[in-house]
Amino acid sequence: MRALSQASMREQRMSVYINAVETYLPGPIISNQELGNKIGFKPELIKKLFGNTGRHFAVNMNTGKPIASSAELITILIKKLLSSAGINKERIDFIIVASATPDTLLPSSVNQACHAMGFRQIETYQIVSGCSGAVQALKLARELVATPDNGLDHGLVIGVETAYKFLDVFDEHAGKKETKELVNYTLFGDGVGGCLVSNQPAVSSIEIEHISFKYLGVDEAVGQLANWRGSRNDIEYGALLNEEYKLIEKLVPVITQDTLNALTDKLGGRPNWLLPPQLSGSMLEKILSDIGYAADETFSLVDKIGNTANAALFFQIKEFSDISLANECAIGISVESSRWLAGGLILRNKKGML
């Protein structure tokens, strides 16, 4: 009886669609030359070691003055999504934000943005995570709109990063940085991306056919650390940032392959497009070589805009939405190296098919 009940519940789930996708990059592009001069790192080495040529930070690189907070970037993105979807804010039932760099612990950045936008009586969620948070947020959104009893039809899912808060290069008394910290400066960038998720299709819908997310339980060291500190000075907080790049370089291609295999089996064949993990340009080349995909089968911007963490997947989905043909499908994969997490999804372009 229990098995029959669970099967019946699954049959009652609605299809879930992405009806609008938007992205935004703050400020001008920052070249390797400009960044290298600022952090004391040879520009040619940034390209050689990490494969990145540019990134954006929500800060004035000359003065160090911030030009946008995470909440402000979320607000910009909400406006873009509402305009793109042709929907007013009163029809939005929930907003989910994923970020590794929220403005404050309290209030949350999602609620600050909702206050600025004048939202009332909607559900809000904020996931604090590395890049896999985007998949977590999409999975939660899918569950919310797919279950009829929830009474939720339209939601916004947004990934945002303002990593400039860790860009400690504007204080002449800050002291010399260790190489592991400088690596973060070369890899990451700020940005925001998101989508409108609904159980009601539109003319240019993308269907979320499957989505999964797991803590892997890998018995390895922490690959990526981003710390925060309170007001006490008598506590040893440890490093503020740490990147075990060699460990990441070893494990991420393996985890990507395992995740891809599982999603390919679920799909029943090779996808038309791949949205690979967005760690760095050089890491992308290694991943594609290991898993047997060519660059022209993928959507990736990491070499041009840096690792925008929770925003990155939405830049890829935007490209898939704009370029793919009707009924083409994509597999997207996110690997987070903090405590080794992996997520993935299967998308299908439903343009003109619904």
**Residue of 291, 245, 310 lying closest to 100 (CA atoms):** 310
Nearest in space to 334 (alpha carbons), one of 347, 321, 344: 344
What is the C-alpha separation between 51 and 307, in angstroms, rounded?
11
In three-state secondary structure terms, 305 is: helix
204-238 pLDDT, tens digit per residue, is 899 999 999 999 999 999 999 999 989 999 999 98
Task: Determine the Cα–Cα distance for residues 251 and 270; give it in Å rounded to an integer.
Answer: 23
For 272, left (φ over 0), alpha (ψ -120 to 50), or beta?
alpha
pLDDT of residue 166: 86
User: Is the model's pLDDT at 99 over the cut of 90?
Assistant: yes
pLDDT at 288 over 90: yes
Beta-strand runs (E) in the chain: 17-24, 30-31, 54-55, 94-99, 123-128, 154-161, 191-198, 206-215, 224-226, 241-243, 273-275, 329-336, 341-349
Domains within the chain, CATH numbers bracketed? 15-198 (3.40.47.10), 206-231+238-349 (3.40.47.10)
DSSP E strand boundaries for 142-299? 154-161, 191-198, 206-215, 224-226, 241-243, 273-275
User: How far is Cα 152 from Cα 161, in angstroms, rounded to an integer?
Assistant: 27
More confident residue, 351 or 20: 20
CA atoms within 13 A on the CB side of 347: 31
Confidence of residue 172 (pLDDT cuts 50, 70, 90): low
The answer, yes or no, to whether residue 177 has pLDDT greater than 70, is no
Length of the chain: 354
Q: What are phi and psi of 64, to 5 degrees?
A: 85, 0
> Which of these ranges, 3-17, 103-117, 311-325, has the smallest mean pLDDT?
3-17
Q: Which two tokens stand for residue 96?
A: 């989910």
Residue 202 CB coordination number (10 Å): 18
53: buried, middle or exposed (CB in 10 Å: 19+, 13-18, 0-12)?
Answer: middle
The CA radius of gyration of the chain, in Å to the nearest whole number, is 20
Q: What is the average pLDDT across 82-95?
A: 98
Residue 36 neighbours by CB under 8 Å, 6+ apart = 42, 43, 45, 46
- Rounded to two decimals, the pTM is 0.94
The neighbour count for residue 65, using CB atoms within 10 Å, is: 9
Judged against a pLDDT cut of 80, whether residue 101 lies above it is answered with yes
Angle (nearest 5°) at CA 235 between 232 and 236: 135
**Segment 233-258 mean pLDDT:** 92
Query: Is 314 within 8 Å of 186 (Cβ atoms)?
Result: no
Q: Which of 62, 140, 134 is nearest to 278 (CA)?
A: 134
Name the least confident of 2-11, 19-28, 78-87, 113-122.
Answer: 2-11
Q: What share of the chain is helix, strand, coil (3-state, %, to 5)?
A: 40, 25, 35
